């Protein structure tokens, strides 16, 4: 009877749809684990296809390619080396001809590969259908699974959401599982690691079984995966904690003690604080979006303000200064301070800075529209023309040189529509999309004080202190500040967090101590700006409810919480 087992936890960065590339990563991790004497290597959820594959699952050719890759991987295990526990979309041969809403039955599967064959298959039972998850749309829920036997050890394999409920782990324990193993594609959001650990501890406590949790790493469109894989003993002690925000392989040593499996003490990576997690999420999300989509670099409109300065800092840290091009586009309303601060930030970062004056474009539009605007007063129309002139300039540079435009708006601005369509909203990706303005200031101070691990940017300050301390302004008219039309950002963000993440009504938000008239105004601004947000580029998910997949309110929306009974 087996009394010891070496289990490698492979925290790798797959790319959705790149089946050949993902198989290469799996084989490389297996080879490394073999050198460490591993008996089996555990990977993340849907690692063969990448997660989430979305509607690729509907394409038979895609599923054929996945299945061919799985059989190729299975054949590789005939060498007597480590077995593999992998995730992949999988068609059940017994239901191949049956249909689900006109589509073939496809499952989110855990596959055990050993001895040159597919030695076991288990299907995800609890399919998430909330927030960013749409698994009911593309997958069929499997039955509550039983254990799979690997070289005499009964493994209780669960897939991500299965760990969040009691039923699957309980059934596995009752069916004789000796060790719970969870394959995960769990996206990052603030405090998510603690939530995962709490659920894992609950399953361990209920069933008195140890647990292995393997999560993927990397960016995929607006999602970013933070890794943070771990192992828990049956006494709830943490035996292994892998690092967040980096690929890694950890080989854990398991031994039978008094009939139970126990993991020897391994590496315990220290938890990161809130601001470092946010910053590294933005770095990884941007780096993978640029790398996986083949862009040569990014171009950023530098205003001399905090949003563009922070966006540029993240871009340089993620990509390196040689892949970041900054452009200052002054108008007659641009202050000397802004010119100096944009230049100072670019120099501190070591990034290229070009200057394109939009004054001639403003005059051209004034002349073009003058016959139609006769007897009207200047208003936000002329302000928006400035933003759109800048957007056209950035898109021209993008088209000419191939660099992707990064939009620089933050969540506070996008919430209330304080952004110009086809102007400052231009871009292929938004680093700050899910970051409130108050957090932008905190991140700027944090980055000026320390350089995160893995950053390609410089040590020390990355922006002049004045960028952080001066009053925020769009500089679209003389002496303008954001607080001309918005409440102070600490007030605005407090209201927005309650309305968005808290999903609270106007009365409940006002009851927290906010002035009711202000809450009503912000609520209406939030509601009306939905049509803009639908046209915004993707960006890194940070909070519990990010605009996009998490936030699906209709644009045409007759419900008004302000007047509702």
In the chain, what are the domains?
Answer: 4-271 (3.60.110.10), 275-533 (3.40.50.620)
Question: Among residues 160, 263, 326, 444, which one is catalytic?
Answer: 160
| pLDDT (mean) for 504-509 | 92
Question: Among residues 124, 323, 411, 497, which one is catalytic?
Answer: 124
Q: Is the pLDDT of residue 112 over 90?
A: yes
Helix 306-319 to helix 274-292 angle (10° resolution) is 60
> Closest Cα partner for 286 from 224, 349, 212?
224
For 332-346, what is the HEC assignment?
Answer: CCCCHHHHHHHHHHH
CA distance 286 to 249: 23
Sign of CA dihedral 293, 299, 305, 309: positive
- Which of 48-52, 185-189, 444-448, 472-476 shows the lowest per-residue confidence on average (mean pLDDT)? 472-476
Active site residue 503: no
Active site residue 444: no
pLDDT of res. 563: 54
CA distance 9 to 47: 13
CA distance 299 to 308: 11
Q: Is the pLDDT of residue 309 over 80?
A: yes
What's the half-sphere exposure (Cβ side, CA atoms, 13 Å) at 528?
A: 11
pLDDT in tens, 332-352: 988 899 999 999 999 999 999
CA distance 414 to 302: 18
| pLDDT (mean) for 276-291 | 97
pLDDT in tens, 208-257: 999 999 999 999 999 999 999 999 999 999 999 999 999 999 999 999 99
Report the b/e string of 326-335 with b at 16+ CB within 10 A.
Answer: bbbbbbebbe
Question: Among residues 15, 45, 263, 475, which one is catalytic?
Answer: 45
Count of CB atoms situated within 10 Å of the CB of 165: 15
CB under 8 Å to 359, separation ≥6 — which residues? 330, 331, 332
Q: Is the pLDDT of residue 390 over 90?
A: yes
Active site residue 292: no
CB contact at 8 A, 123 and 108: yes
> pTM for this structure?
0.93
Find tokens 């490394």 and name the residue: 32
């Amino acid at each position: 009877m087996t009394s010891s087992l070496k289990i490698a936890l492979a925290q790798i960065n797959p790319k959705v749809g790149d089946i050949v590339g993902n198989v290469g990563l799996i084989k490389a991790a297996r080879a490394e684990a073999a050198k460490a004497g591993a008996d089996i290597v555990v990977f993340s959820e849907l690692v063969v296809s990448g997660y989430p594959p979305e509607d690729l699952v509907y394409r038979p050719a895609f599923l054929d390619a996945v299945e061919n890759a799985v059989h190729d991987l299975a054949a590789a295990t005939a060498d007597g080396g480590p077995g593999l526990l992998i995730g992949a979309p999988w068609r059940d041969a017994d239901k191949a001809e049956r249909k689900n809403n006109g589509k073939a039955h496809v499952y989110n599967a855990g596959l055990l590969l050993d001895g040159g064959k597919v030695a076991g298959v288990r299907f995800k039972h609890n399919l998430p259908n909330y927030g960013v998850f749409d698994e009911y749309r593309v997958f069929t829920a499997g039955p509550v699974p039983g254990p799979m036997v690997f070289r005499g050890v009964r493994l209780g394999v669960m897939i991500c959401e299965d760990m969040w409920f009691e039923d699957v782990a309980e059934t596995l324990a009752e069916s004789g599982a000796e060790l719970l193993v969870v394959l995960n594609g769990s996206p990052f959001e603030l405090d998510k690691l603690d939530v995962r650990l709490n659920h894992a501890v609950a399953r361990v406590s209920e069933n008195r079984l140890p647990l292995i949790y393997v999560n993927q790493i990397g960016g995929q469109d607006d999602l970013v995966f933070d890794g943070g894989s771990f192992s828990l003993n049956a006494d709830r002690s943490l035996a292994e904690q892998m690092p967040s925000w980096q690929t890694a392989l950890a080989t854990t040593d398991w031994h039978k003690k008094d009939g139970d499996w126990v993991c020897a003490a391994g590496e315990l990576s220290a938890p990161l604080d809130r601001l470092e997690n946010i910053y590294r999420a933005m770095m990884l999300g941007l780096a993978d979006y640029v790398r996986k989509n083949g862009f040569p670099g990014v171009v950023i409109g530098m205003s001399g303000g905090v949003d563009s300065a922070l966006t540029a800092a993240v871009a340089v840290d993620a990509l390196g200064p040689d892949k970041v091009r900054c452009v200052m586009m002054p108008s007659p309303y641009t202050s000397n301070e802004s010119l100096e601060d944009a230049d100072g930030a670019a120099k501190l970062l070591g990034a290229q800075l070009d200057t394109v004056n939009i004054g001639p474009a403003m005059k051209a539009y004034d002349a073009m529209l003058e016959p139609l605007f006769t007897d009207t007063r200047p208003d936000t129309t002329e302000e928006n023309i400035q933003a759109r002139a800048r957007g056209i300039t950035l898109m021209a540079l993008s088209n000419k040189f191939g660099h992707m435009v990064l939009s620089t708006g933050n969540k506070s601005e996008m919430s209330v529509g304080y952004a110009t369509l086809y102007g400052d909203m231009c871009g292929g990706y938004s680093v700050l999309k899910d970051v409130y303005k108050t957090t932008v200031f905190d991140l700027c101070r944090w980055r000026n004080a320390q350089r995160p691990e893995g950053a390609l940017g410089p040590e020390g300050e990355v922006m002049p202190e004045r960028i952080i301390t001066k009053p925020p302004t769009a500089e679209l008219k003389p002496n303008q500040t954001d607080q001309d039309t918005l409440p102070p950002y600490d007030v605005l963000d407090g209201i927005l967090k309650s309305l968005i993440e808290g999903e609270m009504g106007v009365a409940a938000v006002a009851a927290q101590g906010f002035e009711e008239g202000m809450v009503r105004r912000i609520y209406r601004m939030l509601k009306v700006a939905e049509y803009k947000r639908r046209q915004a580029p993707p960006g890194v998910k940070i909070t519990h409810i990010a605009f996009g997949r998490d936030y699906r309110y209709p644009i045409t929306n007759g419900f008004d919480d302000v007047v509702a009974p």
